[in-house]
Amino acid sequence: MLTESRFMENASLKQIVDTEPIHRSMKSGEEMVGIYKNYQGKSVLGASMFMPEYGWTLLAEMDTSEAFAPIKTISIIVSILWIGMAGTVTILGIIYAVSMTRPIEELTHATERFSQGGLEYRIKVTGKDEVGTLASRFNIMAENLENEIKRQKSLSDTLRKSEASLANAQRIAHVGSWDWDIVKNKIHWSDEHYRIFGLTPQSFNATNEAVLDRIHPDDREFFKKSVNEAFYEGKPYSIDVRIIQPDGSERSIHTQAEVVFDHTGKPIQMNGTIQEITERKMLKKKLIETQSRLEYLLTNSPAVIYSCKPSGNCETIFVSSNIKRLMGYEPNEFIENPSLWIKYIHPEDIPRALNEMKYGIEKGSHILIYRVKHKDGTYRWIHDEMRVMHDSHGKPQEIVGFVIDITQQKRIEDEIKSVSRFSSENPNPVLRIAKEGTVLYANLSGSSFLRDWKCEMGKQVPDFIFQIIKEALNTRSIIRRVEIGQRGKIFSFTIVPVTTTTDYVNLYGTDITKLKQIEQELRTLNESLEERIAERTLDLAKVNRELQTEIDKHKQTADTLMKSESKYRLLLENLPQRVFYKDKNSIYISCNENFAKDLHIKAEEISGKTDYNFFPKELADKYRDNDRRVIESGQKIDRDQEYLMNGKESFIHMIKVPVKDEEGHTIGILSSYLDITEKIVLQKEAERSKYLASLGELAAGIAHEINNPVTGIINCAQILFNKSQEKSRERDLATRILKEGDRIAKIVHSLLFFARPGSKEEKNIANIQEILSDTLALTGAQLRKEGIKLTLGVSQKLPEIVANRQLIQQVFVNAINNARYALNQKYPSTHSNKILEISGEEITIDHYPYIKITICDHGTGIPARIRDKVMNPFFTTKPTGKGTGLGLSISHGIVKDHGGKLFIKSVEGEYTKLIIILPAQSKTA
């Protein structure tokens, strides 16, 4: 009841009304107006209206005794005054009926408005009788209901916005959520969860068995174990597993979950989240590979990398593992005893080394030369180059640097000093200058420098020379590589202090003009290499930042999503993999459109076909053999292999997975592959670029570390030659030294020329005999070491050619290396038939002159079945790591670019001939 009752105190909102209007409304929605029994069994006059929107019945009642009391009074009056008052009674009855029914009609109208949604409508209260009380209660009810509806609408809008924000967060973070009602055994996935699995709610019924089928076969036991521990032991899990999408593609996910228990310890619900981490896994793998390469470079570099504190005894913080090669001690010995390094410095060098280190800390960087004690008791000279790292306030924070063993270089310099007495005959400049800066001595070549300096014997040298002399005498150390230019040439001076009763310094100069030109070319190559390394370093740093950002997002999002769920779906993205399914007899059942396009058929046409319908017998046998291994072993195959696509050989990444029935029997094979030909090409090109870059670095090192001592050796040998008598033992030794020194210089020059990038250089007139001679200078020592006899039959009258010397030399080097490999395979040790024959002759083709070079080995030969493939890129008969499969392909391209031809004649087990034909320069040109 909404209104108060005069029959029962506090009856509103709690009295049960079980009357005829209520029965009619509830059963059929019928309205009633008339006289009936009320809840006390008394007759009343009332009206009812049913409101189906709210399930309410609006009821207005009045006791019949009250309703008809005036009528009874009027009837008595009428019976007495029926004649005189008939008209008056009739008028009064009409007025009274109108006054009584109007409030009821207004209440009925308000009820109709209310049922149609007009909650803002209110009834005007005109009295305090039953009808007025009913109208007042109606208004209160309408206002309360309107406020409640507004509150519910506000909560609904807030919830809708919250769910939209949550769904957007899941989409951005690639995180899905799920829950399992264990009591009802119902699993609910969020839309993002479906997208990660490559599924849709319409195509997939999420059950425990169906979910387990989506887990990678190798990860299922681990996944089941984690779920069981959470279910039975209450341990939340956070694991990484792989899943298989419907197209066969493999993805990696991170999933975590926990079980909710009731008060009796019974599990009632399980909640969890998943996040796709495939890209993160790939980035992590690349990061590990990069770290391995850096570790390899540190371990095999001749330079020992270190860091130490910039105060006290400069205690060691880090030292690379190749310190053992330099000093014989393990790196951890220096970490455990940070002052160990200072302990092993030569006692005579400790004061100077510490002073120079202090100077370097103040200056920011410095180079030190001193001796350190090896574990075997000997001392080694080292070159120590240090740099100070500062914090944001400019305070020294750490010293980083590297040390190099220069013992051999010091030995050579000592030998140079021993022959300095021949300075008067030395073709290179030699000067002696007193500590005051006056010239004491200069040989003939040195005198030319005095003239350029406008200085004479006994006079003061220029200030820049004097400052270097002061530094050498103050530090009592030899200063090397002081470069001074003179008349278009560059000389490298070594300043040697001599501390006796009269201190002075000797200056020994060497003409390094050609060396500087070579160094400039090498520096250009190194700068290019450094730029590539810097680019890779920036890429690695970017990957690290993206990986850290992804990890941070994962942590933040996971905490939020563990308390929420998502109800939004995304469509599956198509992947480029080719996917097909075979039965256990290797007969195709179905495939996707991409695979069908490769075979030039429709997807539905593949059913019932075999590999022999689409591929050559050799490849078909290989593919069926792979299928048999998968079926017999029950294990997947995941590897790279060759593939015939559109009539061309390519490389693919193939995955074959056994399909098993409920009893664990293999009933078929699900396969997928991805074309990785471009990736393989880039890897092979990268290997070749790395090889050339390494060769350039090797050439730079040889030029830098060998040319200077070789020059000194040749100069000393020349002095010995000039001093010795004809046919004397000294003259013979000097002649041999000069010959071998020139040979070393020639080898270094050839190696530098080969390593220098020249693919874009112009072709010039070249002599084929000189190119062959340079090639054999590089490979001759290896041929002799392997016991290979070299037979040359190249005519000395061959015409010149127009070519890029380096590229033609590259062709010859590759051909000789292939011949060496074939001979060593057939004859691992020395043999009378282990011969490499190189011949050259002039021929004529279509009235034009050509040069024909034949390189023949009596090695293993080439099988006839693969002879047509040896020119293909990446085809090689050598084992993994021994060849790239690019040599002959590149050589063929080089010869073709020069207007020539390259072809092979071979008999398996007998010989292989590589024939190179190049156009010669016309003699009349």
**Rounded Cα distance, 482 and 491, in Å:** 8
pLDDT at 242: 92
pLDDT at 488: 83
* Shared domain check, 848 and 770: yes
Q: Is the pTM of this model over 0.75?
A: no
Quick one: pLDDT band at residue 5, thresholds 50, 70, 90? low
pLDDT at 851: 93
* Shared domain check, 587 and 634: yes
Return mean pLDDT, the chain: 78
Q: What is the mean pLDDT of residues 287-314?
A: 76
* 924 part of a folded domain: no
* 925 part of a folded domain: no
pLDDT at 840: 92
Strands 588-591, 578-583: pairing kind: antiparallel
Give yes or no for a contact between 614 and 645, defined as CB atoms under 8 angstroms apart.
no
* Shared domain check, 498 and 587: no
* Shared domain check, 246 and 372: no
**Rounded Cα distance, 700 and 690, in Å:** 15
Residue of 434, 438, 421, 417 whose CA lies nearest to 473: 434
In this predicted structure, the answer to whether residue 918 has a pLDDT above a threshold of 90 is yes
Of 379, 410, 441, the domain-final residue: 410
Long-range contact set of residues 791-794: C-beta below 8 Å, sequence gap at least 24: 791/835, 791/836, 791/837, 791/838, 792/838, 792/839, 793/837, 793/838, 793/839, 793/840, 794/768, 794/769, 794/838, 794/839, 794/840, 794/853
Quick one: pLDDT band at residue 501, thresholds 50, 70, 90? low
In this predicted structure, the answer to whether residue 2 has a pLDDT above a threshold of 70 is no
* Shared domain check, 320 and 256: no
**Rounded Cα distance, 738 and 730, in Å:** 12
* Shared domain check, 251 and 350: no
Of 630, 651, 682, the domain-final residue: 682
In this predicted structure, the answer to whether residue 564 has a pLDDT above a threshold of 50 is no
User: Which three-class secondary structure state does DSSP give residue 562?
Assistant: coil
In this predicted structure, the answer to whether residue 545 has a pLDDT above a threshold of 50 is yes
In this predicted structure, the answer to whether residue 839 has a pLDDT above a threshold of 90 is yes
Of 682, 697, 720, the domain-final residue: 682
pLDDT at 46: 80
* 636 part of a folded domain: yes
* Shared domain check, 891 and 766: yes
Max mean pLDDT among 5-14, 416-425, 463-472, 864-873 falls in 463-472
* 29 part of a folded domain: no
Domain count within the chain:
5
pLDDT at 38: 79
User: Which three-class secondary structure state does DSSP give residue 128?
Assistant: coil
**CATH of residue 909:** 3.30.565.10
* Shared domain check, 399 and 445: no
Strands 304-308, 316-319: pairing kind: antiparallel
* 717 part of a folded domain: no
Residues 156, 158, 162, 168: is their CA dihedral positive or negative? positive
When mean pLDDT is compared across 27-41, 134-148, 195-209, 626-640, the lowest value belongs to: 134-148
pLDDT at 569: 30
* Shared domain check, 258 and 340: no
**What whole-number percentage of the chain has pLDDT above 70?**
74
Domain that holds residue 404: 316-410
In this predicted structure, the answer to whether residue 566 has a pLDDT above a threshold of 50 is no
In this predicted structure, the answer to whether residue 568 has a pLDDT above a threshold of 50 is no
> Does residue 497 or residue 556 have the better pLDDT?
497
> Does residue 923 or residue 320 have the better pLDDT?
320
Quick one: pLDDT band at residue 419, thresholds 50, 70, 90? very low
**Element at 769 (helix H, strand E):** helix 768-785
* 31 part of a folded domain: no
In this predicted structure, the answer to whether residue 573 has a pLDDT above a threshold of 50 is no
**CATH of residue 332:** 3.30.450.20
* Shared domain check, 257 and 215: yes
* 137 part of a folded domain: no
pLDDT at 168: 63
In this predicted structure, the answer to whether residue 254 has a pLDDT above a threshold of 50 is yes
pLDDT at 285: 80
CB-hemisphere CA count at 13 Å for 402? 13
* Shared domain check, 406 and 434: no
C-alpha dist (Å) from residue 803 to 764, 767, 806, 814, 896: 5, 9, 9, 17, 12
* 182 part of a folded domain: yes
Mind listing the pLDDT tens digit for each residue in 786-820? 899 999 888 888 899 888 888 888 889 888 988 99
When mean pLDDT is compared across 44-53, 267-276, 513-522, 769-778, the lowest value belongs to: 44-53
* Shared domain check, 903 and 792: yes
Q: What is the DSSP letter of 605?
A: G
Max mean pLDDT among 8-17, 134-143, 356-365 falls in 356-365
Mind listing the pLDDT tens digit for each residue in 744-783? 766 666 555 545 544 445 788 889 888 888 888 888 888 8
Question: Which residue is listed with tokens 């809708």?
Answer: 160
CB count within 10 Å of CB 616 equals 11
Mind listing the pLDDT tens digit for each residue in 682-704? 676 566 556 555 655 666 666 66
Task: Quote the longest CA-to-CA distance of the chain.
Answer: 182
CB count within 10 Å of CB 276 equals 20
Q: What is the mean pLDDT of residues 282-309?
A: 76
Q: What is the mean pLDDT of residues 135-151?
A: 73
